[in-house]
């Protein structure tokens, strides 16, 4: 008799989702589905709006990574204007992108996932949360808070506000950086670097306790996708797209983001509103690939900043070729925080950064534009078409979490097959199924106003609809 | 270091949910002492624990769907570890607890002032009863900042 387990909602992720596990007659997991249950329609309701409104409409998609949408959208608008931005503006945009990566990664690692590392996957969820973490390891908690604050402070200093800023505009940014503000930010970087290094040192010891999770958390061969710069470094704001495989081979390189329809397909499934992008030459679903911190560190042969480079060498030594376990997204996130801090420091020390020329202006020159950057969770593509008056006629967005959809579904299946065997459900079992999703740090609702404390319920139901077992997590 | 901290929370695109933000705006416009730091955000987040730990008095401001429109409630707060597994919502008591846990101190005096709202639908602007309540909420904040105490509840 087949049975179904539903995990609804999945907690400590950004947004709303549920997981269904299908058990076969022997009580073994046969299928797993990750359902994203929201429909938001941003691609539709922007139709008819002037293109120059798009950065400010599109950043409202998300309260955690609005800067990514702001930048990808502004780059798509730059393409509509057929223009490059002034050099200081380009560097300021890069700093903004890296600052967001710091605050978003700090949220994911310290607030959402570290409770699992500190308190254990099997701990009581009443303890296994942010408060439990702060109680058990206050130094780590203070460090996480400080890193998130610093990322947010950079965004606020440059762009005026931490969430949904309007500072990035088609053609550049609307205000240069003053020397005084630059110096204030520079003063705070050494402390932030020290915190990131301490967290890395701690985690490199700690993750040894999670050998089974490392082995089973979405640990399979796949392609990896991300932006790479001309000097072969991960390109968070600029570059061309590269696919590599799990052996470290370059599968496709120097791909223009604007040509994505040639190599990226988007499949749909009836159980979720989130699309399934895939690498077209391999078809669906064999064209599975991963994006984000793990992918970015797998794509290149050089991290690019001195301290992060040392960490990257250790990271890549985890496996002979590419690092395949998605558990190591967490590790990669910490290395990227360190990289971002060092790279921001480099940009701020460049005298050009405080030059006053921060924006070019132009008229509409193209009727189609694509903007691409690396969001904290991976490659983000905005694609717009406009009419002669500059009104949007069509838009397509491929968000980072979408790229990882196939991998997340396959990862849930792998974890569930390993950890879920009997008809009796346990909290640790549930948490591991959720934790594999958390490793990808999906941003599903892209919204900050989800309900607060949510109950979590897993039900084991027979194919006849009879409830076999149930566990509840009270709000 | 700021002696006093006012943390307003709300969404001014959700009608009366923006009540606390309006109070904060008025306070910023010279209606309170310069040693008071006023923050207006859409959420209370764990990052606020650090400035909370450094203040002598903290006042949390929020809108309420359970009070009558325009009604103002005020209560003193004590640290209380929240059992939340979610980071979108951190309670004032939880933030006081975080301040104590992480930085070893919490403000001697902490209060929550809430303003009852009439409408929380999408849209800008406050309802009439909430608009009329704003000056009274400001007076409550000023009184608490000046050292007025609340009767035990």
Chain B interface mutation, best of A63, A138, A449, A451, highest count of B Cβ atoms under 10 Å? A449
Chain B interface mutation, best of A14, A113, A134, highest count of B Cβ atoms under 10 Å? A134
CB contact under 8 A, B101 and A134: yes
Nearest to A131 among B47, B50, B94 (CB): B94
Residues contacting A466, CB < 8 A, separation 6+: none
CA distance linking residue A450 with residue A16, whole number of Å? 8
Q: What is the pTM of this model?
A: 0.90
Chain B residues near residue A135 by CB distance under 8 angstroms: 81, 101
Q: Identify the closest residue of chain B to A450 by CA–CA distance.
A: B88
User: How high is the pLDDT of residue B147?
Assistant: 84
- Helix or strand (DSSP H, E) at A93: helix A87-106
CA distance linking residue A386 with residue A392, whole number of Å? 4
CA distance linking residue B151 with residue B153, whole number of Å? 6
User: How high is the pLDDT of residue A1?
Assistant: 56
CB contact under 8 A, B84 and A452: yes
A218 min Cα distance to partner chain B (Å): 24
A346 min Cα distance to partner chain B (Å): 26
CB contact under 8 A, A131 and B83: yes
Taking CB atoms and an 8 Å cut-off, how many pairs form between chains A and B? 73
Chain B residues near residue A125 by CB distance under 8 angstroms: 85
User: How high is the pLDDT of residue A449?
Assistant: 22
User: How high is the pLDDT of residue A256?
Assistant: 97
End-to-end alpha carbon distance in chain B: 31
Q: Give the total residue count for chain B.
A: 153
Residues contacting A121, CB < 8 A, separation 6+: A210, A213, A428, A431, A432, A435
User: How high is the pLDDT of residue B153?
Assistant: 56
CB contact under 8 A, B81 and A125: no
pLDDT tens, chain B, 153 aa long:
568 999 999 999 999 999 999 999 999 887 667 789 999 988 898 899 999 999 999 999 999 999 999 999 999 999 887 645 455 568 899 999 999 999 999 898 999 999 999 999 989 999 999 999 999 999 999 999 988 777 665
CA distance linking residue A199 with residue A193, whole number of Å? 10
User: How high is the pLDDT of residue A286?
Assistant: 97
Are A242 and A255 in contact by the 8 Å Cβ rule? The answer is yes
Nearest to B86 among A145, A449, A453 (CB): A453
- Below-50 pLDDT ranges, chain A: 445-457, 474-475
The single-letter DSSP state of residue A274 is: S
User: How high is the pLDDT of residue A447?
Assistant: 25
Are A238 and A229 in contact by the 8 Å Cβ rule? The answer is yes
Q: List beta partners, residue A146.
A: none
Q: What percent of chain A has pLDDT over 70?
A: 89
Give pLDDT tens digits for A64-112: 889 999 999 999 999 999 999 999 999 999 999 999 999 999 999 999 8
Are A187 and A99 in contact by the 8 Å Cβ rule? The answer is no
Asked if this assembly's ipTM is beyond 0.95, the reply is: no
Chain A residues near residue B102 by CB distance under 8 angstroms: 134, 138, 141-142, 145
Q: Identify the closest residue of chain A to B49 by CA–CA distance.
A: A145
């Amino acid at each position: 008799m087949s049975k179904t387990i539903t995990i609804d909602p999945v907690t400590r992720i950004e947004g709303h989702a549920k997981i269904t596990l299908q058990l076969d007659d022997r009580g073994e997991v046969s299928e797993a589905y990750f359902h994203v249950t929201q429909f938001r329609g941003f691609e539709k309701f922007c139709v008819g709006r002037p293109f120059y409104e798009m950065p400010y409409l599109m950043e409202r998609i998300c309260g955690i990574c609005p800067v990514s949408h702001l930048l990808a959208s502004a780059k798509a608008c730059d393409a509509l204007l057929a223009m490059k931005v002034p050099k200081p503006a380009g560097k300021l945009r890069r700093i903004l992108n890296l600052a967001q990566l710091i605050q978003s990664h700090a949220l994911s690692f310290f607030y959402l996932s570290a409770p699992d590392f500190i308190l254990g996957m099997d701990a009581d969820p009443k303890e296994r949360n942010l408060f439990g973490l702060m109680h058990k390891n206050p130094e780590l908690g203070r460090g996480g808070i400080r890193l998130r604050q610093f990322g947010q402070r950079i965004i606020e200093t440059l762009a005026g506000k931490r969430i949904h800023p309007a500072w990035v505009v088609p053609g550049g940014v609307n205000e240069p950086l003053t020397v005084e503000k630059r110096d204030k930010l520079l003063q705070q970087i050494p402390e932030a670097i020290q915190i990131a290094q301490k967290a890395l040192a701690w985690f490199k010891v700690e993750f040894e306790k999670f050998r089974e999770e490392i082995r089973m958390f979405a640990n399979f061969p796949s392609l990896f996708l991300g932006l790479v710069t001309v000097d072969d470094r991960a390109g968070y704001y600029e570059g061309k797209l590269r696919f590599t495989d799990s052996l470290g081979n370059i599968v496709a390189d120097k791909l223009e983001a604007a040509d994505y329809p040639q190599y990226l397909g988007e499949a749909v499934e009836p159980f979720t509103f989130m699309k399934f992008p895939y690498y077209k030459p391999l078809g669906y679903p064999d064209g599975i690939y991963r994006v984000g911190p793990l992918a970015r560190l797998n794509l290149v042969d050089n991290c690019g900043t001195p301290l992060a480079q040392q960490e990257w060498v250790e990271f890549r030594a985890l496996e002979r070729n590419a690092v395949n376990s998605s558990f190591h997204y967490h590790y990669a996130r910490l290395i990227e925080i360190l990289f971002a801090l060092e790279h921001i420091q480099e940009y701020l020390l460049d005298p050009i950064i405080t030059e006053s020329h921060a924006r070019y202006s132009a008229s509409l020159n193209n009727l189609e534009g694509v903007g691409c950057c690396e969001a904290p969770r991976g490659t983000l593509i905005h694609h717009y078409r406009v009419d002669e008056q500059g009104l949007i006629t069509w838009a397509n967005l491929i968000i980072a979490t979408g790229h990882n959809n196939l991998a997340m579904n396959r990862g849930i299946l792998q974890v569930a097959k390993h950890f879920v065997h009997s008809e009796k459900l346990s909290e640790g079992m549930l948490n591991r199924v959720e934790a594999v999703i958390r490793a990808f740090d999906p941003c599903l609702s892209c919204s900050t106003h989800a309900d607060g404390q949510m109950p979590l319920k897993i039900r084991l139901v027979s194919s006849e609809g009879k409830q076999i077992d149930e566990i509840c997590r009270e709000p | 270091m700021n002696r006093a901290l006012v943390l307003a929370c709300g969404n001014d695109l959700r009608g009366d949910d923006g009540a606390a933000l309006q109070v904060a705006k008025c306070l910023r416009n010279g209606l309170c002492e310069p040693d008071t730091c006023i923050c207006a955000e859409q959420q209370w987040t764990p990052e606020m624990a650090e400035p909370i730990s450094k203040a002598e008095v903290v006042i949390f401001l929020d809108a309420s769907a359970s009070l009558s429109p325009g009604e103002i409630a005020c209560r003193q707060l004590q640290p209380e570890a929240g059992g939340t597994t979610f980071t979108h919502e951190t309670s004032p008591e939880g933030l006081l607890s975080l301040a104590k846990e992480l930085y070893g101190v919490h403000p001697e005096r902490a209060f929550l002032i809430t303003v009852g709202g009439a409408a929380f639908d999408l849209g800008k602007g406050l309802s009439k009863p909430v608009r009329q309540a704003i000056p009274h909420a400001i007076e409550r904040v000023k009184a608490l900042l000046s050292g007025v105490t609340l009767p035990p509840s």
